[in-house]
Amino acid sequence: MKDRTFSPSECLHSVSIPAFCVIAQGSKEVLLGSDRYQYDPMHYLLGTVELPIASRILEASPEQPFLSLRLDLDPTLVGSVMLEAGYPSAQRGASVKAIDVSLLDANLLDATVRFVRLLDSPTEAHVLAPLIKREIIYRLLVGEQGNRLRQIAVLGGYTHHIARAVERLRKDFNQPLRIEDIARELGMSVSGFHHHFKSVTAMSPLQFQKQLRLQEARRLMLGQNLDAISAAYRVGYDDASHFNREYKRLFGAPPMRDVERLREAALETASSI
């Protein structure tokens, strides 16, 4: 997926997916829990687990717009490239961060440029894009972040266990959080689960669930015109005051004021096009 933006942005809250992200022009910052990751045309960002993140474009202008590419990563395809290359599996006992930034080396840059050029040639892309995508994955596997990428294709590793926990939390985000049940299903102790979850996601399971709930509440108020109390109960909050406090802490304003601000910004953007 390509992105073109003409001005710096405020923090945008979303859920990341496993992906390889590069920038052709400008720079961007991604926030995961208390960790910050900044990248530019000299660096790439690799994400390996679905996580609630915040991101903002730091450098962009009409003369030099922010230009980027996101290549989504399929664990099955990663595993296929690993087998074909005879590349060793990741260490099963390790837990690694879900997001990191590394220097974009010449070989990876070359493959990425060739992939981008195909976006304007659909006929050639049908044949060549899958091949170049495999090459990009191979370059990532043999690069600085190779062990992290291999984790998404390895069954049984701690990172894979945490990815399963993340999937469950995303599915049941509006239900009471039962850490003991999740840890038991993964064959982990409660303390071990907490440790590895935070190592991978940079936040505790409770913080993770909280961000999912607040992002969904924001979506419901914007997309379905729900009021704050209805949205709070829909995503699992029993106390509207507690919801309002946590919402303001994450998004910088009370729920309805934040939604009004977002709608006004959308109208301004639409009128300027």
What percent of the chain clears pLDDT 90, i.e. is strictly above it? 65
Cβ–Cβ < 8 Å for 261, 253 = yes
Neighbours of 203 (CB within 10 A): 19
- Check whether 156 has a pLDDT greater than 60: no
pLDDT on residue 220: 96
Per-residue pLDDT band for 162 (boundaries 50, 70, 90) equals: confident
Summarised one tens digit per residue, pLDDT across range 184-234 is: 998 999 999 999 899 888 899 999 999 999 999 999 999 999 999 999 999
Q: What distance in Å separates the CA atoms of residue 126 and residue 40, rounded to the nearest whole number?
A: 29
More confident call, 148 vs 181:
181
Q: What distance in Å separates the CA atoms of residue 73 and residue 202, rounded to the nearest whole number?
A: 21
Give Cα separations from 122 to 68, 109, 130 (angstroms).
19, 21, 12
Cβ–Cβ < 8 Å for 38, 29 = yes
Stretch 60-67: mean pLDDT: 93
Per-residue pLDDT band for 175 (boundaries 50, 70, 90) equals: very high
- Average pLDDT along the chain: 89
Q: What distance in Å separates the CA atoms of residue 86 and residue 268, rounded to the nearest whole number?
A: 53
Backbone angles phi, psi at 47, to 5 degrees: -115, 140
Q: What distance in Å separates the CA atoms of residue 114 and residue 107, rounded to the nearest whole number?
A: 11
- Check whether 19 has a pLDDT greater than 80: yes
* Domains, the chain, ordered by start: 2-151 (2.60.120), 158-204 (no CATH), 208-272 (1.10.10.60)
pLDDT on residue 212: 95
What percent of the chain clears pLDDT 70, i.e. is strictly above it? 93
Backbone angles phi, psi at 12, to 5 degrees: -110, 130
Helix (H) / strand (E) containing 79: helix 75-85
Stretch 155-159: mean pLDDT: 64
pLDDT on residue 5: 85
- Check whether 127 has a pLDDT greater than 80: yes
Q: What distance in Å separates the CA atoms of residue 171 and residue 16, rounded to the nearest whole number?
A: 15
- Check whether 46 has a pLDDT greater than 80: yes
Summarised one tens digit per residue, pLDDT across range 31-41 is: 998 899 999 99
- Check whether 90 has a pLDDT greater than 60: no
Pairing verdict, β 2-5 and 27-32: unpaired
Angle formed by the axes of helices 190-201 and 158-171, nearest 10°: 90
Backbone angles phi, psi at 219, to 5 degrees: -60, -40
pLDDT on residue 93: 53
